[in-house]
């Protein structure tokens, strides 16, 4: 049981380049989330999904797109990277429905945009 | 709307001393509250959560937190700090159909 895994762990991009971050979970969770973590700002929700084939915007969605074609995978795309997207990105998942269900986090992807 | 305020972005305590990390929340409906810990270069993991069953919640690694509605607080404590407690701690709140909202975090340093 690997939990939540993220690929890649580190990446350096040039401004304007594109990339996709992959999140996978093996816990059969319905809900999946993408966050970014910046110093002094905590975690901010980018996009989330409440089930296969569904996605929704979070607090800071601009510049990002997501897809959930399979229940176990949640992809985060940057079409044209900008230096403001330099951050640590975390994926998380949680079981269906209950608000008090904890979220399980992946180890993060450190992205630098030059 | 909901929000969380963590007082003190950095806290230092001596090994063996009391750990107190402060969290105040704002919510228009009864909240669910969480404390997560993040060790260096790792993701977040749950320490404990308040789900209205009991106001004093015990978590992993000897941590506990008390929900005080009158003070809108959910402070995290540990009686005796250990070197392995050095990490960043996040308080988070969710209520009704809203998403999980995180505080800005408190970095805990343990002084030998």
A48 vs A12, A92, B37, B85, CA distance in Å?
24, 9, 22, 31
Q: Is B31 on the interface with A (CB under 8 A)?
A: no
Confidence at residue B97, expressed as pLDDT on a 0 to 100 scale: 65
Main-chain dihedrals φ then ψ at residue A96, nearest 5 degrees: -70, 145
Confidence of residue A28 (pLDDT cuts 50, 70, 90): very high
Structure confidence by residue, pLDDT tens digits, B18-64: 999 999 999 888 889 999 999 988 899 999 999 887 899 999 999 99
pLDDT tens digit sequence for A74-114: 999 999 999 999 999 999 999 876 666 788 999 999 999 99
Tell me what percent of the residues of chain B surpass a pLDDT of 90.
Answer: 77
Asked whether residue A12 carries a pLDDT value surpassing 70, the answer given is yes
Query: Which one, of A35, A83, A91, lies nearest residue A59 by Cα?
Result: A35
Tell me the pLDDT tens digit for each residue of A59-76: 999 999 999 999 999 999
pLDDT for the residue B4: 94
Contact A68, A74 (CB under 8 A): yes
Facing residues of A38 across strands?
Answer: A42
Report the chain A residue with the minimal C-alpha distance to residue B8. A40
Residue-level pLDDT at A97: 60
Confidence of residue B13 (pLDDT cuts 50, 70, 90): very high
Question: So what's the pLDDT on residue B51?
Answer: 86
Q: What is the pLDDT of residue B95?
A: 79
- Tell whether B34 lies on the interface with A, counting CB pairs under 8 A: yes
Q: From CA B4, how far away is CA B15, in angstroms rounded?
A: 28
Residue with tokens 């630098």: A112
Top residue of A100, A108, A109, A110 to mutate, by most chain B CBs within 10 Å, is A100
Taken as a whole, chain B contains a residue count of 112
The answer to whether the CB of B47 falls within 8 A of the CB of B33 is: no
């Amino acid at each position: 049981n690997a939990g939540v895994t993220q690929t890649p762990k580190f990446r350096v991009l040039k401004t304007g380049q594109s990339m996709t971050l992959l999140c996978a979970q093996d816990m059969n969770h319905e809900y999946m989330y993408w966050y970014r973590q910046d110093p002094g700002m905590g975690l901010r929700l980018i996009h989330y999904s409440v089930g296969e084939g569904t996605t929704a915007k979070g607090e800071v969605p601009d510049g990002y797109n997501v897809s959930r074609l399979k229940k176990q995978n949640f992809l985060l795309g940057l079409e044209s990277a900008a230096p403001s997207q330099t951050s640590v990105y975390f994926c998380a998942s949680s079981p269906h429905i209950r608000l008090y269900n904890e979220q399980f986090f992946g180890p993060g992807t450190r992205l630098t945009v030059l | 709307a909901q929000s969380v305020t963590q007082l003190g972005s950095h806290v230092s305590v001596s090994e063996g001393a009391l750990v107190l990390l402060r969290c105040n929340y704002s919510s228009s409906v009864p909240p669910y509250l969480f404390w997560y810990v993040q060790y260096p270069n790792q993701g977040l993991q749950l320490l404990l959560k308040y789900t209205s069953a009991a106001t004093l919640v015990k978590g992993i690694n000897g941590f506990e937190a008390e929900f005080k509605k009158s003070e809108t607080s959910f402070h995290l404590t540990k009686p005796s700090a250990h070197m392995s407690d050095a990490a960043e701690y996040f308080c988070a709140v969710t209520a009704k159909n809203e998403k999980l909202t995180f505080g800005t975090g408190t970095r805990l340093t343990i002084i030998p």
